[in-house]
C-alpha cells in the first residue's frame, strides 16, 4: 500500500518517521508535525491515531510512543499512521492553545459549510488552514481514527462519543451516519474504557464541537472516529497509558489488524451504569465558597445523592448540593474555589437524545 503523509512514505514491515509541515513562522522556520507510519507485511485497514491537540495533554503522546514498536509491526495487517502532537506550539509553551490561533485548536476541523468572504472578518488562521489540509489526508487514507486527549485532574479514562449529524432530507447521508455510528459503538466497546456521549445536539453546535477532530472526520468523511480522554493532563498516570495501549490494540483486533483475544482493561476504573449517557456540568454553587467533594470520578450517583459541600474560608458548612440526575461522576474541575454559578462536578447523565440526528434547520444558511 503506497501511503505518504508529509515526508513519511510507508514501507512494508517497517516503521518510518517523517514530518508534516504545519505552519510557517514569520521569523523563518516552521512548526511541523511528527509523523509515524507503521505498516505490516500484509494489507489491511489504515488506523490513524493522533494526540496532543491541546498542549497540556501529554498522556496520548506517551501512548503513541510506547504503542508503536517493531514487535507490533510484525503482528499487524495494514497500517498505523500516528501523529503524537497535533499542536507543537501549545506543547512547547505548555498551553492548551497555539499562540498563533486565538481559540480552542480542537474546534478548527472542517464543518461542511461553504466559506463566506467577509472583508470585515479575519480569514481562517494558518492553523485552521493547516488542519483543513490534514483533514483531507485523514479522509483520503483512514479506515478508522482515534484522537487522544486528557480531561484533567483525577478524571476517568473514557471515550467521548460524538453525535453524527446529517442534512435534513439527505437520505444517503442519514444511512451513512447510521452505519458509522454503529461502527463507533463497536469500536468504543472494543476499546473497553468507560463511554459517554458529548453534549445534547444544540449545545454541541453552540460549543462548535462538530468541528472537533473526530466529529468532523466521522460526520464529513464518514470514517468512524472516537475521542479518548486519558484522565489527568500534564504528567500522565502510567496505568492510564497502559490501559489506553491495551484499548487501542483491542480496536486493532476489532478492525481485523491484529489477531488474538481482546485484552482485559486493568488498572483503571471502568463504569457502565447500564444506560446511555451524555455529559453535563452540574452542582453549580449558589454562593462564593470552597467545596469539599463527596463523590469521586467513577462513583455512580442517584437523584438526591449529596455531591459537594459548600464551605466558607473558615470551613463552616454553607450548604450541600445534591444530584438532580442519575449517572456517574466523570471528573471534577481543578481546585476547590468557586464563584456563584460555577459547576463543581462533570457528570455523565442519562441520554435520551439521538446519536444520529439532523443539523439544526438554519445551520447551513
* Residues at the interface with Zn ion (CB under 5 A): 54, 57, 149
Compute the least distance from the CB of residue 54 to Zn ion, in Å: 4
d(CA 48, CA 216): 14
**Nearer Cβ to Zn ion (149/295):** 149
**Backbone dihedral angles phi then psi of residue 330, each to the nearest 5 degrees:** -90, -50
**Nearer Cβ to Zn ion (149/193):** 149
The x, y and z cell numbers of residue 159, run together, are 471515550
Compute the least distance from the CB of residue 183 to Zn ion, in Å: 23
Q: Are 36 and 72 in contact (CB under 8 A)?
A: no
**Nearer Cβ to Zn ion (15/159):** 159
Compute the least distance from the CB of residue 223 to Zn ion, in Å: 20
Strands 77-83 and 42-51: parallel
Q: Are 204 and 360 in contact (CB under 8 A)?
A: no
Q: At what angle do helices 126-141 and 213-220 cross, to 10 degrees?
A: 50
Compute the least distance from the CB of residue 57 to Zn ion, in Å: 5
Residues whose CB falls within 8 Å of the CB of residue 326, separated by 6 or more in sequence, listed in order: 273, 301, 302, 303, 349, 350
Specify the DSSP element, H or E, that contains 9: strand 8-9
Compute the least distance from the CB of residue 218 to Zn ion, in Å: 17
d(CA 362, CA 268): 42
**Nearer Cβ to Zn ion (54/58):** 54
**Nearer Cβ to Zn ion (51/283):** 51
**Nearer Cβ to Zn ion (107/295):** 107
Compute the least distance from the CB of residue 230 to Zn ion, in Å: 9
Compute the least distance from the CB of residue 252 to Zn ion, in Å: 23
Mapping DSSP to helix (H, G, I), strand (E, B) and coil, where does residue 170 land? coil
DSSP 57: B
**Nearer Cβ to Zn ion (44/60):** 60
Q: Are 145 and 187 in contact (CB under 8 A)?
A: no
**Nearer Cβ to Zn ion (50/344):** 50
Specify the DSSP element, H or E, that contains 345: strand 343-350
d(CA 264, CA 267): 10
Q: Measured at CB, which residue is nearest to Zn ion? A: 149
Give ∠ CA 19-188-239 in degrees, rounded to 5: 70
Compute the least distance from the CB of residue 134 to Zn ion, in Å: 16
Amino acid at each position: 500500500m503506497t501511503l505518504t503523509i508529509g515526508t513519511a512514505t510507508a514501507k512494508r514491515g517497517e516503521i518510518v518517521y517523517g514530518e508534516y509541515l504545519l505552519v510557517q513562522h514569520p521569523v523563518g522556520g516552521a512548526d511541523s508535525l511528527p509523523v509515524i507510519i507503521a505498516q505490516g507485511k500484509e494489507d489491511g485497514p489504515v488506523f490513524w491515531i493522533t494526540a496532543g491537540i491541546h498542549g497540556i495533554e501529554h498522556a496520548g503522546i506517551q501512548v503513541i510512543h510506547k504503542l508503536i514498536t517493531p514487535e507490533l509491526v510484525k503482528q499487524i495487517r495494514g497500517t498505523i499512521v500516528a501523529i503524537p502532537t497535533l499542536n507543537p506550539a501549545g506543547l512547547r509553551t505548555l498551553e492548551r492553545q497555539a499562540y498563533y490561533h486565538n481559540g480552542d485548536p480542537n474546534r478548527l476541523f472542517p464543518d461542511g459549510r461553504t466559506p463566506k468572504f467577509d472583508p470585515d472578518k479575519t480569514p481562517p488562521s494558518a492553523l485552521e488552514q493547516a488542519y483543513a489540509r490534514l483533514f483531507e489526508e485523514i479522509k483520503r487514507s483512514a479506515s478508522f481514527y482515534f484522537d487522544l486527549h486528557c480531561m484533567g485532574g483525577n478524571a476517568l479514562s473514557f471515550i467521548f462519543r460524538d453525535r453524527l449529524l446529517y442534512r435534513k432530507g439527505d437520505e444517503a447521508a442519514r444511512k451513512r451516519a447510521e452505519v458509522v455510528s454503529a461502527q463507533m459503538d463497536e469500536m468504543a466497546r472494543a476499546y473497553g474504557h468507560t463511554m459517554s456521549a458529548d453534549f445534547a445536539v444544540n449545545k454541541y453546535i453552540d460549543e462548535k464541537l462538530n468541528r472537533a477532530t473526530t466529529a468532523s472526520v466521522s460526520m464529513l468523511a464518514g470514517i468512524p472516529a472516537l475521542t479518548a480522554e486519558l484522565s489527568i493532563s500534564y504528567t500522565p498516570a502510567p496505568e492510564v497509558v497502559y490501559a489506553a495501549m491495551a484499548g487501542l490494540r483491542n480496536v486493532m483486533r476489532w478492525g481485523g489488524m491484529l489477531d488474538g483475544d481482546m485484552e482485559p482493561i486493568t488498572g483503571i476504573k471502568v463504569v457502565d451504569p447500564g444506560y446511555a449517557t451524555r455529559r453535563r456540568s452540574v452542582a453549580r454553587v449558589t454562593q462564593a465558597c470552597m467545596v469539599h467533594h463527596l463523590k469521586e470520578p467513577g462513583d455512580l450517583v442517584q437523584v438526591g445523592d449529596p455531591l459537594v459541600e459548600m464551605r466558607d474560608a473558615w470551613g463552616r458548612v454553607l450548604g450541600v448540593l445534591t444530584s438532580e440526575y442519575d449517572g456517574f461522576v466523570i471528573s471534577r474541575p481543578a481546585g476547590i474555589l468557586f464563584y456563584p454559578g460555577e459547576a463543581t462536578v462533570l457528570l455523565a447523565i442519562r441520554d435520551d437524545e439521538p446519536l444520529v440526528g439532523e443539523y439544526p434547520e438554519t445551520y447551513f444558511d
